[in-house]
Amino acid sequence: MWPHSSERENVPAYKHVPAHYHWGKRSGEQTHYGDAALLLLASVVERGRFDAVDFGRRFVETFGAPGYRGHRDRATRGTLERHAAFQRDHPGEAFDFQHGADDFEPSTVSRLAAVVIAHRDDPDLLAVVERATRVVQDDPYAMAHAQCFALILRGLLRGARPRDAVAEAAASLPPPPQVGAALREALIRARERSSREPLPDGESFGEVCRVDHSFPVGWPATMAARPPRAGAMCLHAVCATEPELALPSGEEVREAVRHEIAVALARADDDVVQATRAFGTGCRLDQSFPSAVQAMLRHDGDLREAVIGSARAGGDSAGRAAMIGAWLGAALGVDGVPREWRDRLAAGDAIARDVERLVALRGPASA
């Protein structure tokens, strides 16, 4: 939710800056994370389950509309591009919305609560979460964090204490698939072109992204030293010089997430601002996810303090707040969410209506 003026004084150097990610949003409105969360909530309650195609269509219609006023993050832009490319190359065929962007920021975890609540008793919950992740993020790190988020939330919904829910989620987290389909395609193309330097004029690999977003933590250190280039262009250069490059296994991805959780648990009693800045304040899930876990644990009885403490640290406080709010909302109930925050929600009536329908659902199989 875009903060009210009474909360802005709690966030150092808060400014409403033209051309900022959330420029044009008014108090009580959602950021782009919240906009997508409302779409997913409406889809789940209307379908009675998670339906990838139904949510994907709503997502593309909303975020692809010329008049959309919110931020289109990298996962959104990549998903819109892939949907448009499929329609162009496969006219008349249905898109399955399981080929999202190569991205591991909070796009999925920030909206996933409705899916977890609807499927909380579903033995295939993690498979449902995988499908929900792939709508906009075909990435093993995004998937592993989404499944960990879901396991924590399910534990809290079942009455576990926050620390126990976090520890149990880390222990039971499965390894994700080794690498997303789109990244595999990029690697194949990069290897095929590894003898051609530079690329012919007019050719490109598509999405442009920073190297630190292209290669998650844990990948070979030689990658991190390379200057920012287009993600697949960098793969082209790397494959030309390091043809035996090994991608991280599912087990390595899982262990990376478990390590984040272990550090968050160890720092659970630390000041939230200091801990968040130590993890990193960026959008990347290896920064935002453990930061959100730590803030939730530090203030496990006070949602307001957890959210505001995280906001004081700066960076992607919106993504972290979405995770914190889902977890502590489950742990504390609706009365744990400050009444004045709920009253100022621009979509408050619609949210209240759909949440009532949501909690009545009992985990049917998803589409």
235 or 270, higher pLDDT? 270
21: Cβ contacts below 8 Å, ≥ 6 apart:
31, 32, 71
**CB count, 10 Å around CB of 89?**
8
- CA–CA separation, 353 and 139 (whole Å): 33
Dig out the tokens for 137 from the structure: 């993020």
Query: Would you kindly state where each structural domain of the chain is located, as residue ranges?
Result: 28-178+248-359, 181-241
**CB count, 10 Å around CB of 171?**
10
Q: What mean pLDDT do residues 344-364 have?
A: 87
The model carries a pTM of 0.80
- CA–CA separation, 256 and 102 (whole Å): 18
pLDDT digits (tens, 9 = 90+) for 298-337: 999 999 999 999 999 999 999 999 999 999 999 999 999 9
Biggest alpha carbon–alpha carbon distance for the chain: 62
Percent of the chain residues past pLDDT 70, beyond the cut:
73
- CA–CA separation, 59 and 163 (whole Å): 34
Given CATH 1.10.4080.10, say whether it is the number of domain 28-178+248-359: yes
Confidence of residue 27 (pLDDT cuts 50, 70, 90): confident
What does the mean pLDDT of the chain come to? 82
Count Cβ atoms within 10 A of the Cβ of residue 364 and give its class: 0-12 exposed, 13-18 middle, 19 or more buried. middle
